[in-house]
A = this chain, B = another copy of it.
Amino acid sequence: MKSDIEIAREAKKRPIAEIAAKLGMGPRDFLPYGHDKAKITHEFIAGLSGRKQGRLILVTAINPTPAGEGKTTTTVGLGDALNHIGRRATICIREASLGPNFGMKGGAAGGGMAQIVPMEEMNLHFTGDFHAITSAHNLLSAMIDNHIHWGNALRIDPRRVTWRRVLDMNDRALRETTIGLGGPANGHPRESGFDITVASEVMAILCLASDLQDLQERLGRIVIGQTFDKVPVTARDIGADGSMTVLLRDALQPNLVQTLENNPALVHGGPFANIAHGCNSVMATRTALALSDYVVTEAGFGADLGAEKFLDIKCRLSGLSPDAVVLVATVRALKMNGGVARADLAVENVPALREGCANLGRHIENLRGYGLPVVVAINHFTSDTDAEVAAVKEYCAEHGVKAVLCRHWAEGSAGAAELARTVAALAEADSAEFQTLYPDDMTLWQKIETVCKRIYRADHVEAAPAIHEKLAEWQSAGHGHLPVCMAKTQYSFSADPNLRGAPTGFTIPLREVRLSAGAGFVVAICGEVMTMPGLPREPAALRIGLDAKGRIEGLF
């Protein structure tokens, strides 16, 4: 088998105008970026309102393990396969962050025969969206310190400015800094720091905004800190919302690319899956729904985090409603959930596999709680035995869910045709009766408890009095209607990454809460959250370069 990058380089890409034409776009409806990337214009999107909407399929997964589940690969394979069986399907996924690609091996968009191209550009600057977000975020930062420097009319307390700066780079040295040193000409010294761009609230806002006007309103609502009287100060108070919108105008337009099989894919936005909601943009999903029979999309991490936030944040805030959910599992990852060590994964072990299926089972139950029909996709690995695959299918049958073996990684759309037919049958039965997990008018604390108890199955949620005070303060300040955005380890239903399977009898410790008033949620942090990664001892950057033919090597 060839490597992902070799396959991607040999892709028979069609001109992007041809892909756009498949979606009914004329040459003025998109802005080309090279010959294989484009942005769909605001004008074209504005003309889509009232169009019949396609069906929305969410791809999610069991709790991730180092063994890999192949969620994105399955998303791409299913999208291709739906086209293969005669449905016009568009794939919607997130953009990759540039910075981390120079640390670890770059994140490809899918793998094997189920990939989105151009892979190199998508792992580098792509169409510049993340750079625009960096600029907009840092303009607000500069304007805050500038306001303080020139007399501080708003009486901003420099010690209580929570808005930091961002770079799309893994740079641990910037996590904690002092700025404004060097005397009066350089402003007021204070402590601050940098996060990675995908952790910016501006990223989350871009992904939840429904249009330019909504974007500006959300940007204006960002709370940057407090005055000396502890009154919240917003980006609108600073006067930054207009300029930030201008910087993001082009970035808000969804990016069009294609799969190896020349089907359309919208790759747009990439918020963190912990302190943000981890989904591609509402603009992209809505645009794709207006242009396709089916839209296949995914959400970050396992279903306890990713699907929950997709459903309780993105769908709630945008009015989107999925028609079916695909839950991806692999024999290898299920065996790890059943206690098998990574080194032993190639050995058949049906008992451990059945044990690990408890993880799968709980996700199925959770997703059904949202009123959604579920199908399990067993993403095939060459080491899987027939007995193991049969055991997974049997487990699913016992739980009233169909499980389909998929070989899209090796075979492309043909390998996921059965999955596509199953998904289409489920979705076209119109059996989905989507409801969010909790209503808007529950208190913030109750919302957190509801997710922890009903999705994670915790017995208790622990929080210091200061956290309760903050939640009560936001509640009375008019933020009580917001959904909660949970930040927790992705490796377990619990807050302990080593508790695999379907643990019970645990407590979730709520360590911190943050208000993202612009994005429109309250972040509940249960554990450590790293918002600025570092580079490893031997970063990938040491091996990245151009080869003799001018091609990029080492990035993948």
- Tell me the A residues contacting B by CB distance below 8 Å: 28, 31-35, 42, 98, 102, 124-125, 128, 131-132, 134-135, 138-139, 141-143, 145-146, 149-151, 165, 167-182, 185-188, 191, 212, 216, 239-243, 245-247, 249-250, 534-535, 537, 539, 541-546, 550, 552, 554-555
B545 & A171 in contact (Cβ 8 Å cutoff) = no
- B242 and A141 form a contact (CB under 8 A): no
User: Does the CB pair B212–A242 fall under 8 Å?
Assistant: no
Contacting residues, chain B, for A138 (C-beta < 8 A): 167, 169, 171
Central interface residue in A239, A541, A554, by most chain B CB within 10 Å: A541
A535 near B34: Cβ-Cβ < 8 Å: no
- CB-defined A-B contacts under 8 Å, sample of 28: A31-B34, A32-B32, A32-B35, A102-B139, A102-B142, A124-B250, A125-B132, A128-B128, A131-B131, A135-B169, A141-B171, A142-B170, A145-B172, A145-B173, A146-B539, A150-B537, A172-B186, A173-B187, A175-B182, A176-B186, A177-B181, A181-B191, A187-B534, A212-B546, A239-B542, A242-B542, A242-B544, A245-B545
- Please name all residues of chain B whose beta carbon is closer than 8 Å to the beta carbon of A31 when the two chains form the complex: 33-35
- A320 to B531 CA separation, bound complex (whole angstroms): 48
A95 → B minimal CB distance (Å): 14
Q: Which of these, B32, B242, B550, contacts A42 with CB under 8 Å? A: B550
Contact partners of A143 in chain B: CB under 8 A? 535, 539, 541
A249 B181 Cβ-Cβ under 8 A: no
CB distance B239 to A149 under 8 Å? no
Number of identical protomers: 2
A221 to chain B, nearest CB (A): 16
A377 to B: closest C-beta gap in Å: 35
**Do the beta carbons of A145 and B171 come within 8 Å of each other?**
yes
- CB neighbours of A242 from chain B (8 A): 541-546, 554
Q: How far is the CA of A542 from the CA of B534 in the complex (A)?
A: 35
Instruction: Say how far A547's CB is from chain B's closest CB, in angstroms.
Output: 10
The answer for the CA separation of A3 and B552 in the assembled complex, in Å, is: 45
A545 → B minimal CB distance (Å): 3
Establish whether residues B150 and A173, one from each chain, have CB atoms under 8 Å apart when the complex forms: no
Determine the chain B residues whose CB is within 8 A of the CB of A239 once the complex forms.
Answer: 541-542
Measured CB to CB, the nearest residue on chain B to A188 is: B173
In the assembled complex, which residues on chain B have CB atoms less than 8 Å from the CB atom of A543? Answer: 242
Is there contact, CB below 8 Å, between B169 and A187? no
Q: Chain B's nearest CB lies how many Å from the CB of A270? A: 16
Residues in B with CB closer than 8 Å to A555 are: 246
Q: Considering only CB atoms, which chain B residue lies closest to A151 in the complex? A: B537
**Within the assembled complex, what's the spacing in Å between the Cα atoms of A57 and B94?**
47
Q: Which residues of B contact A212 (CB under 8 A)?
A: 546, 550
- Tell me which of A175, A191, A554 has the highest count of chain B C-beta atoms within 10 A of its own C-beta: A175
A145 to B175 Cα, complex, angstroms: 12
Instruction: Check if A179 sits within 8 Å of B169, measured CB to CB.
Output: no
Q: Do A541 and B243 touch across chains, with their CB atoms under 8 A apart?
A: yes
| B32 contacts A541, C-beta separation under 8 Å | no
Chain B: CB-nearest residue to A185: B172
- Give the residues in chain B near A28, CB-CB below 8 Å: 35
Cβ of A543 to closest chain B Cβ, rounded Å? 8
Shortest A544–chain B CB gap in Å is: 4
Q: In the bound complex, how far is the Cα of B170 from the Cα of A545, in angstroms?
A: 32
Across the interface, do A246 and B545 meet the contact criterion of CB distance under 8 Å? yes
Q: Are A181 and B182 in contact (CB under 8 A)?
A: no
Contact: B168 with A179, CB < 8 Å? no
Chain B residues near A545 (CB, 8 Å)?
A: 216, 241-243, 245-246
Closest 10 CB pairs of A and B: A242-B545, A176-B182, A131-B131, A142-B171, A145-B173, A176-B181, A243-B541, A146-B535, A31-B34, A243-B544
Chain B contacts of A141 at CB under 8 A?
171
A128-B128, A216-B546, A242-B545 known; A534+B172 contact, CB < 8 A? no
* Contact for A128 among B131, B175, B243, B550, CB less than 8 A: B131
Is the pair A168, B34 in contact by a Cβ cutoff of 8 Å? no
Hey, which chain B residues are within 8 Å of A550, CB to CB?
42, 212, 249
Residues of B with C-beta under 8 A to A172: 145-146, 149, 180, 185-187
CA distance A124 to B246 in the complex (A): 9
Task: Compute how far the CA of A541 lies from the CA of B145 in the bound complex, rounded to whole angstroms.
Answer: 14
Q: In the complex, A170 Cα to B180 Cα: how many Å?
A: 13
Q: Is the CB of B541 within 8 A of A139?
A: yes
Instruction: Compute how far the CA of A32 lies from the CA of B98 in the bound complex, rounded to whole angstroms.
Output: 22
Cα A534 to Cα B146 with chains together (Å): 8
Contacting pair B150 A250 (CB below 8 A): no
How long is the Cα–Cα vector from A102 to B135 in the complex, in angstroms?
11
User: Quick one: which of B168, B247, B544 contacts A135, CB cutoff 8 A?
Assistant: B168
The reply to whether A246 and B135 form a contact with Cβ atoms under 8 Å apart is: no
A98-B135, A172-B146 given as contacts; is B544 within 8 A of A250 (CB)?
no
**Complex contacts, A243 vs chain B, CB 8 Å:** 102, 541-542, 544-545
Q: How far is the CB of A108 from chain B (nearest CB, A)?
A: 16
Residues of B within 8 A of A246 (CB): 124, 544-546, 552, 555
Question: Whole-angstrom distance from the CB of A158 to the nearest CB of chain B?
Answer: 10
Q: Return chain B residues, CB-CB under 8 Å to A240.
A: 541
